[in-house]
Each structure stands twice: as C-alpha cells, then as structure tokens.
Amino acid sequence: MIEERSVTGAVPLETETLTPDVTGFARAADILGQGGLVAFPTETVYGLGADARNDMAVARIFEAKGRPRFNPLIVHVPDVEAAKRYVAWDDTADRIASAFWPGPLTLVLPLRPGAGLSPLVTADLPTLAIRIPAHPVARALLNAFDGPVAAPSANPSGRISPTEAAHVLAGLSNRIEAVVDGGTCDVGVESTILGLADTPRLLRPGGLPQEALEAALGTPLALYQVGDALTAPGQMTSHYAPGAPVRLNAIKVETTERLLGFGKVDGAALNLSPSGDLTEAAANLFHHLHKLDQEGDSPIAVSPVPERGLGRAINDRLRRAAAPRGT
C-alpha cells in the first residue's frame, strides 16, 4: 500500500530497494499502479518512473526532482504497438523504429488526441517524446506494469544523471517509493532525441550517434536551433496562454473576473487545490486552464501560489499564461 503521506511528501518515505526479478517487478508495477514513483535502470541512465496517465504521479516526479519548470518528459513503452496508442505513426517513424528500437533513441511525434496521458507529461505540447528502452530490467518492468511510464533521469534537478542504484538513493532517498537495482547502466548518457513531428530534426545528441540516424534516413539531419518552436516550450513566453487575459496574485476578484483559486478562497470558478497542496495544484494546472479557456473569455484572476517546491514550476507556467501576447 502507498500511504497518504507519500502523496504530499510531507513525511519522508522509506525508499524500497527492489531486486530485478519477478517479485521485484511485480512490486514495482504495483507501486506505479498506485501512483508511486519507481526508479529503474535503462541502457542510458536510471529513470524516475511514474504512470504517465496519472496527473498526481507525474506531478510528484517534478516534486521529487525539485524541477523549477514543467519541461516535457519522455514516455517509455514496451513495444511499437503500445507506442502507436499515444502518437501518430508514419512510414518514417516505422523505418527508424525498426532500425533502432529498442535502444537509446527517443522519437518526438504528434500526440494522439484523447490518448489519456497527463498533460504534465508533454508540458501541454501537441507532441510526445516516446522511447522503447533496451535494458532487460526496464523492459521487464514495462511489461509487468503494462502502461506508459513517464521517466526523466532519476536525479535531483541540476545534478548528474545516475548510472547506479546507489546514485539514485544518494539523490532521491526518502523522496520516492522504490528503486529497482539492476546494476550499472552501459551507455551512461541520455537518449538521442529525434524530432519527427515535421522535418526530421536532431533535438538532442545522445547515446545513438547522429550518423546512424542520417544513414537510416538517407539524408543529413537538421539540427535544433535555439528559437525553434518545437522543443522549447520554456522559451516561448506566452505559449500556454489561454484566450482570456490572466492576472496573477489576485487577492481581490473583480466582478468581471473568474477566479482560479489556490487554498481556502471563496467564489473560485475552479480551485487548483482547496487544501493548498502544491502537488495537487500541479496535477490540476493544465486541466483547469483548459477548462477555463473552453468555458469563456472573461478575465481569469489567479490566487497567489507560494514560490516554493512545486509552486515555482506552477508560477513559472502561470507567468507565461499571463505574459503579454505576441503575434
């Protein structure tokens, strides 16, 4: 059982070390199914996994890592059949996947609408980064869980990526439910990321060489340029803006405004977390912004959200939503 305490992170967890066998995989799958966090080895580095369909579980990844921003996460699946459930597939994706999956390659493809993933996974982008890892422990875990697993590297934000279970514990002990100890990762660098949502583009160099991709594609790859729209949600100031104007740190609400509340406030149209829980607020953020956007275009006032823990990532996103609109 995952107890209540693990969800708020208020009381330290005792992180379980699981063995890479049937018992360990079953336990890991059980924890993931209950919204818990499980670190596991891939051939690149140890990933910090959560059920990619569960908003609270994905919010907890950002909380455990102390990430100041909701940058998009890579979703791990066991096979191409599973990948096709979440992304629009085409001939190029098929060719590249047959050549390099399973392996240290992530593909960015159009997200299938209604695929059921948490919007926190994609940072609300219309594309999804997806990968089939080759590591036998990662594969066994994905098969045991039988669902999409969002997993960034299993280290606190700003620290070096872990290639051993001991590194994971050194950084995240008492912040995650479990780590599957599968020894040392071979590749030791992150996956190569190939954007296939439009012109093929190398979005991040990594474990699979660019030359191998170019040989398979039969053409040189365009490289990611700073300022390109696709990868850089964080660089586009008002990317997340709803149609209506957004006003932050609202204490008093005008009669023309709709309040997106946080904590105990009266008259909120929607509340990110009535109890003032930042993890719950993160889990609700994109859902509530979309709902308010769909329901009308009168101005949105947002209650103050404390600038600590996940509050920093929430405020980062809200500031973008409130930024003056470009064209």
Which parts of this chain interact with ligand AMP (CB under 6 A)?
Answer: 71-74, 108, 122, 125, 127-129, 152-153, 190, 193, 203-204, 230-231
Identified binder of Mg ion from the candidate list 6, 122, 127, 153, rule CB under 5 A: 153
Find the shortest distance in angstroms from Cβ 65 to Mg ion.
Answer: 8
Closest C-alpha among 296, 105, 321 to residue 233: 321
Minimum distance from residue 308 beta carbon to ligand AMP (Å): 22
| Rounded least distance, CB 38 to ligand AMP, Å | 15
Based on CB atoms, which residue is closest to ligand AMP, 20 or 72? 72
Residue 79, CA distances (Å) to 45, 138, 262 in order: 19, 12, 40
46-51 β-sheet, strand order: 16-18, 178-180, 38-41, 46-51, 149-150, 74-76, 127-131, 105-110, 192-195, 201-204, 222-223
129 binds, among ligand AMP, Mg ion, none (CB under 5 to 8 A by kind): ligand AMP
Report the alpha-carbon distance of residue 80 to residue 60 in Å, rounded. Answer: 27
Q: What is the DSSP letter of 39?
A: E
Pick 42 or 153: Cβ nearer Mg ion:
153
Counting contacts by CB under 5 A, is residue 106 touching Mg ion?
Answer: no
What span, in angstroms and rounded, lies between the C-alpha atoms of 212 and 191?
14
Q: Cβ closer to ligand AMP: 26 or 230?
A: 230
Q: Which does 203 bind (CB under 5 to 8 A by kind): Mg ion, ligand AMP, none?
A: ligand AMP
Min dist CB 149 to ligand AMP, Å, is 12
Bridge-based pairing state of the strands 300-302 and 258-261? parallel
Note whether 129 and 233 are within 8 A (CB). no
From the list ligand AMP, Mg ion, none, partner contacted by residue 125 (C-beta under 5 to 8 A by kind): ligand AMP
Q: Which does 72 bind (CB under 5 to 8 A by kind): ligand AMP, Mg ion, none?
A: ligand AMP
Which residues 6+ apart lie within 8 Å of 211 measured at CB?
none
Q: Which of 179, 84, 182 is nearest to 139 (CA)?
A: 182
Tokens read off for 27: 């336990």
| Closest distance of CB 13 from ligand AMP, Å | 22
Which of 25/46 has CB closer to Mg ion? 46
Q: Which is nearer to Mg ion, 29 or 150 (CB)?
A: 150
Q: Which is nearer to ligand AMP, 236 or 270 (CB)?
A: 236
Give the interface with Mg ion as residue ranges (CB under 5 A). Answer: 153
